[in-house]
Amino acid sequence: MANNIFFNSLPSHDRKTAKRLVSPAFIGIWVVVLFPLLYALYVSVHDWILSQGGIGPFNFSNYPDVLKDPLLINSAKNTVLLTASVVVLEICVGFGLALLLHNKQIKLRNVYLFILLIPMLMPPITVGLIWRLLLHPDLGIINYMLSLVGLPQPTWLASPVLAFFTIIIVDVWHETAFIILVLLAGLTSLPDEIFEVAMIDGANAWQKFLYITVPLMTPTILVATIIRMISALKTYDLVYILTRGGPGISTETISYYIYKVFFVALDIGKSSAMAFILLIVIILMTLVLMRVMNRVEQ
Amino acid sequence: MKKNLSIILGLVVIFSMVLSACAKTDQPATTSDKPFQGVTINVMMEGVPDTDYVQAQLSKFEEETGAKVNIEVLNYALMHEKLVPQLTAGAGKGSYDLIVVDNYWVAEFNRAGWLMALDDKIAASKKVKMDVYLPSMLEMVGTYQGKTYMLPFYNYAMALVYRNDIFTDPAVQEAYKAKYGKDLALPTSIPEYVELAKFMTRDTNGDGTVDVYGASMQGLRPDPTAMEFLNYLYSMGGLLYDVEGNVVLDQKVGVEALNYYVDAMKNAAPPGAPSYGFDEAFATVAQGNAFSYITYNWMVPVLNDPEQSQVVDKMKVTAVPGGAGLLGGWGWAIPNSSANPDAAWAFIEWVESFEIAKERALLGGAPTRSDVFQDKDVLAKYPHYSDVEKIVGDSIMFPMQSRAPQIVEVLGRVISETIAGSMTSEAAIQELITECENLRDK
Amino acid sequence: MPTTKVKRKFGLLVSNIILIFASLSILLPILWVIRTSLANRLIAYKIPPVWVFKPTFDNYLTIFDKYPFQDYFMNSLIISASASIVALIIGSLAAYSIARFRTGDPWLRLSMLSTQMLPPIALVIPIFLIMNVIKLWDTLPGLILAYLSFNLPYTVWILISFFQSIPVEIEEAAMIEGCSRTQALWKVIVPVALPGLLSAGVFNFILNWNEFLFALILTGRNTRTLPVAIASLWTQQGVNIGAVSAATVVTILPVIVLTYVIQKSLVRNLTFGSIK
């Protein structure tokens, strides 16, 4: 991939250095990413169920077959809906909190920030287990608290719509920290002079926010959106712990479904085909988003 | 590729290779009274009470033989994922010398040829006798297609656990008679059980909300709900497969059983039950919030432990109404990939000896041998074991199919979809029949 | 002007209230976990809750005694640290090269980005199959290599924009002073870049520390990491919720301390730059 065309403008010794510097990472990516992917591609066009023996004959129909699988389609829908919900919520909440934390007049801002970052440090698996404990409809502390103030006590994970909603809430609890961090870093790097100029011009807080902060922050927000969107599309741990895809198939996400085809059905050929389709979809989506971003930046 | 995989799937760090190498060189040099001095036996087990009872006895074996037993305790959901790569390792190359096998992995493991046949070892052994085991246990976690691959370790036959204090409460009995015009009695069929469970779902302190539920239930996918539902299905005369492995599930019986199951889930179980796993359902019972629970018979000793339960000495156990609950069990097996099959076998001989099996039972373990079930001391401590022995004898196991984990997955999904309302029970059973046919061993 | 002053005070008050509310929503569940880690199973599930009880350290004893959490801790530490350090070293070199010389532009940069899009499930399946064949399954190097698959592109990507923000002039000045390109890199760029490099390293470390799917599938008895160990406390018998809580406390404590130490640096340096 390191094409010589791009070195033409450099002196030859620099060109060599540039290549040398890049090569370990280049090799690394080949070994740990590209080679496994090629192998997965090979496996994905073969019949192979682990408990029934070794790799079977070539079979391209894995691809059309899995695309017709209603459960895969259902999990894809769930994943898209989940991703859209959590990204929007987390960006809104995260941007709001980052703005508050950016205000230097708030004396305890570093304390708040530290606390707000803690969920990011917790393994999703423990987040799931903890929330299972907290949300137990009869024996959980949350419903007990709700009952004290006379509010209805929902059965958080027991009905399809509510379970989906609960996963969103837990995800927001867990992942907003990351958004706060990225956006606060972005806000901190904004030049103070612009705000000072605006102040002299007599702009009020709202105007400053709307005409200066938002436009300047748009690229950072987009980056945060893309990163978070990519990771939300991979949601697996929370579902595994909180609902196992239930009730019914209402919270089954695509990563969790593929995981099951791989490890429960031991169908290596089909699961590889599914993983490959997912990969292609994600890359296409990212390319589209990047194009949008470039346009926004210009 | 197959060859490569079978050559070595998942070798271990040098550490354990060194250990097993040591083991081999040490063996001949040891004295006869400690035949396995320096050998480490690596065992994978599930984190259940019976595993604790084995661990409690371990030091005896280690003293007797000089071997070190290293038990890795795992959660059920992770065991299968962990075992498969180990089992596909070549002979002597896996990292587990001895494993325990859940009954619904038996066909899968044996069809893939991962377990060692034990018939020769049994024939040569002075200690192991197979005729002491309950036939239903042997059939499930002992033999496969005529050969013996496992020794039954413990049973997890499911039974109905209920609150005897509520059941014998005169006020409750009176209310029951007033409502139904007959005396309160233990249900003898699933429909009767569901009716009773709905009756027992009551507001006991008059605050307007239900605080005791008739049935604690576990609707979480896949195995909690699948296992629970099979009690309903079996007790109502349904079966997934016959002995030859043909799909024999009757649409009408299946739908009826599923309707009763969903009825109980909606009208007699805590509102959160569709999402409960074993833990939440158990906690509901242990905190005194449920009248009954169809669960593993060996949970009774746990419910009598004041550290874990508020219903100490209030629980009684009986067969699943209708008489045919789900039988489950685990067996000891030596994988072909075992590096120390002889030491592993010595361990099995020891752990399944009458004395140790009895010790385990006295701690609360779930027996598989009739002589342990009928032992005076065991019965003195757990009088309900005479009932349990009958339950184990009458219960029906999960079908012996090599793709059982996937069958459980499908079963769990269609039940959960029916509860969630995204599928009718007719469609659910229809899909179950179709999938059972697709997945059966041909 | 008193009105603006009042307004500002009011604004500050509202901001503080919102932040306190947000902080409590994070802190309370965590305090509940700490409480649960000190309770037995009966108290853990008791409703209405028992507020005052004699704490027990049984759960902590359990995880270190019955399950070797000290080993899991070491596994997690070795794997997380090694992968993030290796990624940092080779990733920063590549990022520097791409930032300064536009090496392999745009394909190399694009490939780093798209690698991050990879759903782990797509990668973990072939890696699992390959590791079994080359005998790296359940070894520390195996897991470290696997973690590089997401650490490396992430590092490169974060650091490209970071290096771009360092003015070329300081490097050129050093080279005019007689330094070679490599010397300039070591003596000028590295010291300036150190805080950013550290932030990226810590970020990777946290990712690795909490990673579950790769660890679940690629670790065995010898290399199990903390998240997998915690998940394995979820038994058929039920979640040993006390032990899970104790293990959670043990797991998050080191990263919390780490984050506390470098919090400011994280905010300053983790700008994630532009994606282009």
B266: CATH: 3.40.190.10
Relative to beta strand B290-296, strand B158-163 is antiparallel
Tens digits of per-residue pLDDT, B226-245? Answer: 999 999 999 999 999 998 88
Cβ–Cβ < 8 Å for B187, B193 = yes
pLDDT of residue B185: 93
| Topology at the third CATH level for domain C60-269 | MetI-like fold (1.10.3720)
Q: Which residues belong to CATH 1.10.3720.10 in chain A?
A: 45-297
Any idea of the CA torsion for C41, C45, C51, C53, to the nearest 10 degrees? -20
* Angle, alpha carbons C217-C219-C221 (nearest 5°): 130
3-state secondary structure of B88: coil
Cα distance between residue A273 and residue A269, in whole Å: 6
Give C137's Cβ-side CA count (13 Å radius).
Answer: 31
Residues of chain C predicted below pLDDT 70: 1-2, 105, 235-239, 268-276
3-state secondary structure of B74: strand
| Cβ neighbours of C128 in B, within 8 Å | 85
Of C40, C42, C235, nearest to B46 by CB-CB distance is: C235
pLDDT of residue B21: 35
| Cβ neighbours of A115 in C, within 8 Å | 23, 26-27
Based on the domain organization, do B277 and B425 belong to the same domain? yes
B398 Cβ contact list (under 8 Å, min separation 6): B103, B104, B230, B326, B328, B404, B408
Structure tokens at B52: 């604790």
Q: How many CB pairs under 8 A join A and C?
A: 304
Chains contacting A (3 or more CB pairs within 8 Å): B, C
pLDDT of residue B268: 95
Based on the domain organization, do B126 and B201 belong to the same domain? no
* Conformational region of residue A147, where left means phi above 0, alpha means psi within -120 to 50, and beta covers everything else: alpha
Q: Could you tell me if C265 lies within 8 Å of chain B, comparing CB atoms?
A: no
pLDDT of residue A126: 87
Give C107's Cβ-side CA count (13 Å radius).
Answer: 8
Cβ–Cβ < 8 Å for B269, B249 = no
Give B409's Cβ-side CA count (13 Å radius).
Answer: 21
List the 60-89 stretch of C: residues with Cβ below 8 A of A: none
List the 237-276 stretch of C: residues with Cβ below 8 A of A: 239, 241, 244-245, 247-248, 251-252, 255-256, 259-260, 263-264, 266-276
Based on the domain organization, do B198 and B139 belong to the same domain? no
Does residue A37 surpass a pLDDT of 70?
Answer: yes
Q: How many CB pairs under 8 A join A and B?
A: 113
List the 78-137 stretch of A: residues with Cβ below 8 A of B: 132, 136-137
Interface of B with C (CB under 8 A): 4-5, 7-13, 15-16, 42, 44, 46-49, 72-78, 81-82, 85-86, 88, 95-96, 277-279, 282-283, 286-287, 302, 306-310
| Cβ neighbours of C129 in A, within 8 Å | 39, 43, 268
Question: What is the total count of domains within chain B?
Answer: 2
Q: Could you tell me if B222 lies within 8 Å of chain A, comparing CB atoms?
A: yes
3-state secondary structure of B330: strand
The strands making up B98-102's β-sheet, listed across from edge to edge, are: B68-74, B40-46, B98-102, B329-333, B150-155
Does residue B88 surpass a pLDDT of 80?
Answer: no
pLDDT tier at B117, thresholds 50, 70, 90:
very high
Of C27, C115, C181, nearest to A115 by CB-CB distance is: C27
Cβ–Cβ < 8 Å for A263, A214 = no
Q: How many CB pairs under 8 A join B and C?
A: 111
Based on the domain organization, do B231 and B311 belong to the same domain? yes
List the 166-195 stretch of C: residues with Cβ below 8 A of A: 181-182
Cα distance between residue A4 and residue A18, in whole Å: 11
Q: How many CB atoms lie within 10 A of CB C192?
A: 14
Q: Could you tell me if B295 lies within 8 Å of chain A, comparing CB atoms?
A: no
ipTM, 2 dp:
0.83
Q: Could you tell me if C220 lies within 8 Å of chain B, comparing CB atoms?
A: yes
Q: A159-195: buried (b, 16+ CB within 10 Å) or exposed (e) per residue?
A: bbebbbbbbbebbbbbbbbbbbbbbbbbbbeeeeeee
Terminal alpha carbon distance of chain C: 46
Terminal alpha carbon distance of chain A: 28
State which H helix or E strand residue C52 sits in.
Answer: none
Between A16 and A91, the higher pLDDT residue: A91
CA distance C16 to chain A (A): 7
Sole residue written with tokens 């979640």: C239
Structure tokens at C147: 């973690």
Length of chain C: 276
Based on the domain organization, do B381 and B407 belong to the same domain? no
pLDDT tier at A11, thresholds 50, 70, 90:
low
Structure tokens at A285: 């989506």
pLDDT of residue C181: 75
Task: Report the number of secondary-structure helices (H) and strands (E) in chain B.
Answer: 21, 13
Q: Could you tell me if A255 lies within 8 Å of chain C, comparing CB atoms?
A: yes
Structure tokens at A228: 């978070």
CA distance B36 to chain A (A): 33
Structure tokens at C92: 């920063």
pLDDT of residue C2: 58
pLDDT of residue C185: 77
On the question of a cis peptide bond just before residue B222, with omega within 30 degrees of 0, the verdict is yes
3-state secondary structure of A272: helix
Based on the domain organization, do B112 and B176 belong to the same domain? no
3-state secondary structure of C273: coil
Q: Mean pLDDT score of chain A, rounded to an integer?
A: 86
pLDDT tier at B30, thresholds 50, 70, 90:
very low
Cα distance between residue B426 and residue B442, in whole Å: 26
State which H helix or E strand residue B319 sits in.
Answer: none
| Cβ neighbours of A98 in C, within 8 Å | none
The mean pLDDT value for B163-179 works out to 94
Any idea of the CA torsion for A81, A83, A87, A93, to the nearest 10 degrees? 70
What are the structural domain ranges in chain C?
Answer: 2-56, 60-269
Cα distance between residue B414 and residue A249, in whole Å: 9
| Cβ neighbours of C112 in A, within 8 Å | 29
Based on the domain organization, do B425 and B322 belong to the same domain? yes
Does residue B12 surpass a pLDDT of 70?
Answer: no
Indicate whether B135 belongs to any domain: yes
Based on the domain organization, do B166 and B268 belong to the same domain? yes
Check CB contact under 8 Å for B11 and C138: yes
Question: By C-alpha distance, which of B416, B420, B411, B161 is closest to B284?
Answer: B161
* Angle, alpha carbons A33-A39-A43 (nearest 5°): 140
Between A24 and C220, the higher pLDDT residue: A24
Based on the domain organization, do B256 and B380 belong to the same domain? no
Cα distance between residue A161 and residue B312, in whole Å: 38
3-state secondary structure of B394: helix
The phi, psi pair for B115, rounded to 5°, reads: -105, 150
Cα distance between residue A172 and residue A290, in whole Å: 24
A122 Cβ contact list (under 8 Å, min separation 6): A174, C210, C248, C251, C252
Cα distance between residue A238 and residue A122, in whole Å: 12
Cα distance between residue A157 and residue B221, in whole Å: 12
Does residue A5 surpass a pLDDT of 70?
Answer: no
**Domain enclosing residue B371, as ranges:** 2-155+329-393
Indicate whether B38 belongs to any domain: yes
A12 Cβ contact list (under 8 Å, min separation 6): none
Residue B402's closest chain A neighbor by CA? A51
Indicate whether B398 belongs to any domain: no
- Report the top-level CATH class of A45-297: mainly alpha
Check CB contact under 8 Å for B5 and A136: no
The mean pLDDT value for B271-290 works out to 89
Cα distance between residue C41 and residue C241, in whole Å: 7
Cα distance between residue A282 and residue A296, in whole Å: 21
Q: Could you tell me if A5 lies within 8 Å of chain C, comparing CB atoms?
A: no
Cα distance between residue A231 and residue A182, in whole Å: 15
Q: Which residues pair with B161 in a beta bridge?
A: B293, B317
What's the farthest any 2 CA atoms get from each other in chain A?
Answer: 76
pLDDT of residue C106: 72
Provide long-range contacts, Cβ within 8 A and 24+ apart, for B61-66: B61/B347, B61/B350, B61/B351, B64/B34, B64/B350, B65/B34, B65/B35, B65/B36, B65/B37, B65/B343, B65/B346, B65/B350, B66/B30, B66/B34, B66/B35, B66/B36, B66/B37, B66/B38, B66/B39
A18 Cβ contact list (under 8 Å, min separation 6): A7, A10, C97, C100, C101, C103
Handedness of CA C185, C188, C194, C197 (dihedral sign): negative
* Conformational region of residue C274, where left means phi above 0, alpha means psi within -120 to 50, and beta covers everything else: beta
pLDDT of residue A79: 94
Interface probe, candidates C45, C183, C275, chain A, greatest A C-beta count within 10 A: C275
Cα distance between residue A176 and residue A182, in whole Å: 10
pLDDT of residue B162: 95
pLDDT of residue B7: 31
pLDDT of residue A297: 67
CA distance A32 to chain B (A): 18
Indicate whether B71 belongs to any domain: yes
Cα distance between residue B319 and residue A168, in whole Å: 42
| Cβ neighbours of A138 in B, within 8 Å | 270, 272, 284, 287, 289
Sole residue written with tokens 């050929």: A269
Cβ–Cβ < 8 Å for C248, A113 = no
Cα distance between residue A245 and residue A262, in whole Å: 16
CA distance A81 to chain C (A): 17
pLDDT of residue C50: 79
Does residue A4 surpass a pLDDT of 50?
Answer: no
Question: By C-alpha distance, which of C230, C16, B307 is closest to A237?
Answer: C230
The mean pLDDT value for A225-244 works out to 87
Q: B343-358: buried (b, 16+ CB within 10 Å) or exposed (e) per residue?
A: bbbbbbbbbbeeebbb
The answer, as to whether pTM is greater than 0.90, is no
CA distance B321 to chain A (A): 26
- Out of B60-74, B385-399, C98-112, which region has the weakest mean confidence (pLDDT)? C98-112
